[in-house]
């Protein structure tokens, strides 16, 4: 059988830096093909070449056995190849139905008509999304569903999913996998990029693993297990599974650093109360819409608290109402964002400049001091070593680093401000396996040093591995507290969904 998509000797480089080189890849018709690898391994770029977002530097791309040169995503679509992006590529100001039909509108476009057909289409996919809702008002998971619906609607022969399940709840994931299987029955070929190995093992027919821009393994799924995949991904066996550190006794709570009392804000935070203690990691789990990120953003001043809602945030027993993050940072409360690219680092600056900016930005009169690149390099060097930030070139812009190294820079930039409380929001999202272990070890080290650490995560194994104490948020409120010794994935999920 001719493969529907084939790459032969494919190489792509950006300004001389190879994203992948000399890759051979085959996608058979009606196959679910999982593409795995650490961040920076070249997965995203490889699929973007297939979808026509990038063109190959050298090598050949065959579609349906014929050599093709796809210069734009539109040409990719014309060849029946659609891509569902990691970052949303929807138009936020348009309705769901308009987004699904975007680019496929009839010359005379009747809104009512497309709402009705979009409604039927979404129901056939078992997606519960209102077709007349404005996309900007939807949650992350629903946006993802609309993305998927759009790709399916284009009647693509090949659909590429880049991290499709990262923002979905377990229930939605179930629907998503059903949908993928149904697409497969209809003869659609699927490429599926994921960091969740279990998902790949469960759903894929064939798995290809990339490492540093090379294919290191490609076989039917039966030939793999979790350990073997990780071995191929990182080129070493992680002897102790990074999420299995369950035996450690919980740390004793230190001084109370933050107490939140009956805090409310808008529709996202509803009358919630909890405390955070020094020398301990508090894990906060919640599903999409549980308001956990919003609550902690209010605590550290990133979100301005409105005056209509009540409640109190006390730092060291003193009531505080931060309007902007600056005074919170001076009080030693820092926030490590989940949106690394949007608000995590300065992309035109080097690693050293980024970390140094954290330092002078955190000082009380940081603006009224002199700065020097030498000092920047010195303080950056300390953090580079502590966090093992790897860059070929120390003056490289942070945007040129891999996800894991970017995240380490963001963390260093916050920690250089000598905080007493660090709030990590999804600290390992979009980070490769090796860096996850390093970041986890570092977070543990912080708590051992007596800093109050708060970790927000949607990934249960991460919560279980890191937390000394687990808070579970539901509908804008912290509803339950668990000790690490008694917490299980099932118990946490039970508290989170009810």
Partner 1 sequence: MAASDTIPKQAPRRSLRHIALTQELIVVAVSVVLFVFFAVALDGFLSSGNILNFIRNVAILGMLSLGMAVVVIGRGVDLSLIAVMAVSMTLAIVLANKGYSFPMALAAGLLFVVAVAVVMGFLIAYVEIPAIFATLAVSAIVYGMGRGVIATLDVNNVPDGLDWFIYLGRGSLLGIPMPIWIFAVTALLLSLFLRKTGLGRFIYAIGDNISTARITGIPVRPMIILQYVIAAVMAFLAGCVTAASIASMNMRMVNSTLIYDVLLVVILGGIGLTGGRGGVRNVLVGTVLIGLLLNGMTILDISFIVQNLVKSTVLLCALIVDAILNPRDEQTSQQGDI
What residues make contact with partner 1 under the rule CB under 8 A? 14-15, 17, 19, 39-40, 42, 44-45, 53-54, 86-87, 212, 302, 324-326, 328-330, 334-335, 337, 341-349, 356-358, 360-363, 365-372, 384, 390-395, 397, 399-403, 406, 413, 417, 434
Closest CA to 435 of 208, 262, 133, 233: 233
φ, ψ of residue 331 in degrees (nearest 5): -85, 5
**Residue 117: CB minimum distance to partner 1, A:** 30
Nearer to partner 1, 213 or 476 (CB): 213
Question: In Å, how far from its chain's centre is CA 54?
Answer: 22
Spatial CA neighbour of 143 closest among 174, 115, 167, 111: 167
Q: How far from the centroid of its chain's Cα atoms is residue 170's Cα? A: 16
Compare residues 399 and 441 and give the one whose CB is closer to partner 1.
Answer: 399
Task: Give min distance, CB of 397 to partner 1, in A.
Answer: 6
* Half-sphere exposure for 473 (CA within 13 Å, toward CB): 30
Pair of tokens at residue 420: 């007493």
CA distance 195 to 84: 16
Q: How far is the CB of 475 from partner 1 (least distance, A)?
A: 26
Q: How many other β-carbons are positioned within 10 Å of the β-carbon of residue 117? A: 15
86 vs 218, which CB is nearer to partner 1?
A: 86
Residue 388 — left, alpha, or beta (φ > 0 → left; ψ -120 to 50 → alpha)?
A: left
Helix (H, G, I), strand (E, B) or coil at 85: coil
- Compute the least distance from the CB of residue 225 to partner 1, in Å: 24
Q: What is the Cα–Cα distance from 375 to 352, expressed in whole angstroms?
A: 9
Contact 35, 189 (CB under 8 A): no
How many whole angstroms separate alpha carbon 468 and alpha carbon 289? 24
- Contact between 312 and 319 (Cβ < 8 Å): yes
> Phi and psi at residue 325, in whole multiples of 5°?
-70, -25
Alpha carbons within 13 A on the beta-carbon side of 349: 18
Q: Least separation, in Å, of the C-beta of 460 and partner 1? A: 25
User: Which DSSP helix (H) or strand (E) runs through 149?
Assistant: helix 140-153
Nearer to partner 1, 350 or 467 (CB): 350
Q: How far is the CB of 371 from partner 1 (least distance, A)?
A: 6
Least Cβ distance, residue 253 to partner 1 (angstroms): 27
Please identify, using beta-carbon distances, which residue of 31 and 353 lies nearer to partner 1. Answer: 353
Task: Name the residue nearer to partner 1 (CB basis): 423 or 464.
Answer: 423
Q: Which is nearer to partner 1, 42 or 131 (CB)?
A: 42
Residue closest to 293 by CA, chosen among 420, 161, 426? 426
| Cα–Cα distance, 141 to 289 (Å, whole number) | 10
Output 33 or 384, the one with its CB closest to partner 1. 384
Which of 187/235 has CB closer to partner 1? 235
C-beta of 167: minimal distance to partner 1 in Å?
16
> How far is the C-alpha of 215 from the C-alpha of 208, rounded, in Å?
7
Q: How far is the CB of 347 from partner 1 (least distance, A)?
A: 6
Please report how close the Cβ of residue 356 comes to partner 1 at its closest, in angstroms.
8
Task: Give 73 or 461: the residue with its C-beta nearer to partner 1.
Answer: 73
User: Considering the complex, what minimum distance in angstroms separates the CB of residue 377 from partner 1?
Assistant: 9
Helices (H), 157-291: 170-185, 197-203, 226-234
- If the CB atoms of residues 45 and 144 are measured against partner 1, the closer one turns out to be 45
Of the candidates 297, 265, 283, 242, which has an alpha carbon nearest to the alpha carbon of residue 437?
242
């Amino acid at each position: 059988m001719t493969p529907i998509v084939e790459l032969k000797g494919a190489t792509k480089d950006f300004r001389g830096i190879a994203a992948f080189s000399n890759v051979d890849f085959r996608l058979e018709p009606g196959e679910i093909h999982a593409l795995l690898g650490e961040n920076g391994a070249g997965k995203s770029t490889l699929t973007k070449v297939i979808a026509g977002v990038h063109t190959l530097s050298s090598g050949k791309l065959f579609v349906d056995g014929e050599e093709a040169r796809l210069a734009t995503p539109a040409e990719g679509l014309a060849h029946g190849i659609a891509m569902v992006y990691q970052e949303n590529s929807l138009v936020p100001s348009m309705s769901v139905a308009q987004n699904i039909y975007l680019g496929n509108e009839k010359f005379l476009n009747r809104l009512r008509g497309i709402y009705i057909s979009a409604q039927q289409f979404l129901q056939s996919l078992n997606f519960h999304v209102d077709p007349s809702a404005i996309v900007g008002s939807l949650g992350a998971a629903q946006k993802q569903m609309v993305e998927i619906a759009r790709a399916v609607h284009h009647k693509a022969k090949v659909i590429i999913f880049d991290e499709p399940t990262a923002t979905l709840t377990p229930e939605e994931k179930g629907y998503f996998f059903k949908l993928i299987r149904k697409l497969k029955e209809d003869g659609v070929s699927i490429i599926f990029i994921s960091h969740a190995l279990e998902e790949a093992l469960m759903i894929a027919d064939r798995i290809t693993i990339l490492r540093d821009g090379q294919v290191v393994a490609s076989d039917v799924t039966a030939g793999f297990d979790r350990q073997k995949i990780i071995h191929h991904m990182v080129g070493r066996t992680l002897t102790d599974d990074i999420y299995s550190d369950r035996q450690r006794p919980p740390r004793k709570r230190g001084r109370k650093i933050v107490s939140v009392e009956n805090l409310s804000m808008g529709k996202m935070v509803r009358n919630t109360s909890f405390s955070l203690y020094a020398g301990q990691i508090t894990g906060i789990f919640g599903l999409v819409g549980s308001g956990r990120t919003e609550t902690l953003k209010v605590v550290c001043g990133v979100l301005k608290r409105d005056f209509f809602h009540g409640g109190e945030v006390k730092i060291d027993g003193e009531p505080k109402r931060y309007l902007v993050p600056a005074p919170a940072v001076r009080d030693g409360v820092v926030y490590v964002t989940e949106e690394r690219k949007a608000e995590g680092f300065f992309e035109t600056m080097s690693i050293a400049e980024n970390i140094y900016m954290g330092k002078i930005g955190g000082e009380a009169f940081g603006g009224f001091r002199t700065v020097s690149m030498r000092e920047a390099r010195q303080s950056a060097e300390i953090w580079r070593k502590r966090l093992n930030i790897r860059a070929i070139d120390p003056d490289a812009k942070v945007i040129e680093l891999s996800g894991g190294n970017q995240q380490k820079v963001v963390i260093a930039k916050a920690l250089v401000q000598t905080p007493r409380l660090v709030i990590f929001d999804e600290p390992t999202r979009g980070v490769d396996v090796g860096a996850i272990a390093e970041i986890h070890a570092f977070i543990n080290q912080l708590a051992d040093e007596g800093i109050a650490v708060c970790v927000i995560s949607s990934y249960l194994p991460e919560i279980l591995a890191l937390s000394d104490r687990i808070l579970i948020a539901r509908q804008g409120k912290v509803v339950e507290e668990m000790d690490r010794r008694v917490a299980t994935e099932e118990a946490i999920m039970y508290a989170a969904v009810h």
